[in-house]
Amino acid sequence: MLRLYIANRNYSSWSLRGWLCAKLAGEPFEEVVVPLAGQTPNPGYYAFSPNGLVPCLHDGGIVVWESLAIAEYLAERHPPMWPAEAPARAFARSMCAEMHAGFRDLRNEMTMCIRERLDVRPWSAGLARDIDRVQALWTQARTRFGGGGDYLCGAFSIADAFFAPVAFRFRTYLVEPAGEAGAYWHRLLAHPYLREWEQAALAETAVIEADEPRILYRDKLAAAGRG
């Protein structure tokens, strides 16, 4: 059986991506939850993860690390994880690669914390650009390739898995996408896999101060009278 190492659901956006890909693959897998420790990479993870990060997938003697590699490894065995048509598949892969390598202001300034709701505006120029870029990608994907279903390229795919943490981040920080992007955002948050992850996240009691928005933005919130 596959074994997937993940960290705290409330905070770990990359764990969510790997877990969604494993769910999408449809193979039975064992979840091993390892706590975040505020160190990146985490020395305690090297026993099971070559880069000291999660998620990390074990398939017998095969070890696959990095979310994008996990997605591709599983998709080789389960091709429907990517869109069937070549243009949509190319767009979906490009979206995932951009998400994997980019959006640094979004990931740095909007840590994932599923249980929180707060307004930290005004956003930095870089964060505003990242938010606009996400909405543009969602709109393009839905307009060009989404006619066959409710998600980015029709059926739920790896592309949706990679943008799922952004959907949670938008809700946490009160970002309200408009138009087709907004409609997709609501449908993505309502997907059964995301609801399952969310319920498990809300049951967690651990607090990781390095990822807590109200700690990170304490002074800004106080100055704006939102503390």
- 64 by DSSP, 3-state: which? strand
Asked whether residue 61 carries a pLDDT value surpassing 80, the answer given is yes
Average of per-residue pLDDT across 33-60: 92
The DSSP secondary structure of 71-126, one letter per residue, reads HHHHHHH-GGGS-SSHHHHHHHHHHHHHHHH--HHHHHHS---TT-----PSPPHH
Asked whether residue 224 carries a pLDDT value surpassing 80, the answer given is yes
Listing from the earlier edge strand, what are the strands of the sheet with 2-6?
29-33, 2-6, 56-59, 62-65
Average of per-residue pLDDT across 150-173: 98
Q: What is the model's pLDDT at position 226?
A: 77
| Mean pLDDT, the chain, whole residue set | 96
Beta bridge partners of 65: 56
Residue 120 pLDDT grade (very low, low, confident, very high; cuts 50, 70, 90):
very high
C-alpha–C-alpha distance, residues 100 and 35, integer Å: 22
**Which residues fall within 8 angstroms of residue 79, CB to CB, at 6 or more apart?**
none
| DSSP 8-state secondary structure symbol assigned to residue 4 | E
Q: What is the model's pLDDT at position 217?
A: 95
C-alpha–C-alpha distance, residues 165 and 159, integer Å: 11
* CB distance 19 to 153 below 8 Å: no
Q: What angle do CA 105, 201, 75 make, to 5 degrees?
A: 70
Q: Which of 166, 105, 113 is nearest to 130 (CA)?
A: 105
Query: Percent of the chain at pLDDT above 70?
Result: 99
* CB distance 28 to 2 below 8 Å: yes
Q: What angle do CA 96, 101, 102 make, to 5 degrees?
A: 95
Asked whether residue 37 carries a pLDDT value surpassing 90, the answer given is no
Query: What φ, ψ does residue 119 adopt, rounded to 5°?
Result: -110, 115
Residue 40 pLDDT grade (very low, low, confident, very high; cuts 50, 70, 90):
confident
Average of per-residue pLDDT across 84-106: 98
Average of per-residue pLDDT across 126-143: 98
Hey, what domains does the chain have and what are their CATH numbers? 2-79 (3.40.30.10), 80-202 (1.20.1050.10)
Q: What is the model's pLDDT at position 115?
A: 98
Average of per-residue pLDDT across 30-56: 92
* CB distance 28 to 200 below 8 Å: no
Asked whether residue 119 carries a pLDDT value surpassing 90, the answer given is yes
Q: What angle do CA 11, 171, 176 make, to 5 degrees?
A: 150
Average of per-residue pLDDT across 97-119: 97
Q: What is the model's pLDDT at position 82?
A: 98
Tokens of 42: 């985490």
Query: Percent of the chain at pLDDT above 90?
Result: 95
Asked whether residue 39 carries a pLDDT value surpassing 80, the answer given is no
Residue 172 pLDDT grade (very low, low, confident, very high; cuts 50, 70, 90):
very high
For helices 86-101 and 125-145, the axis angle rounded to 10 degrees is: 170
Question: For residue range 136-155, what is the model confidence (pLDDT) as tens digits?
Answer: 999 999 999 999 999 999 99
Average of per-residue pLDDT across 34-41: 84
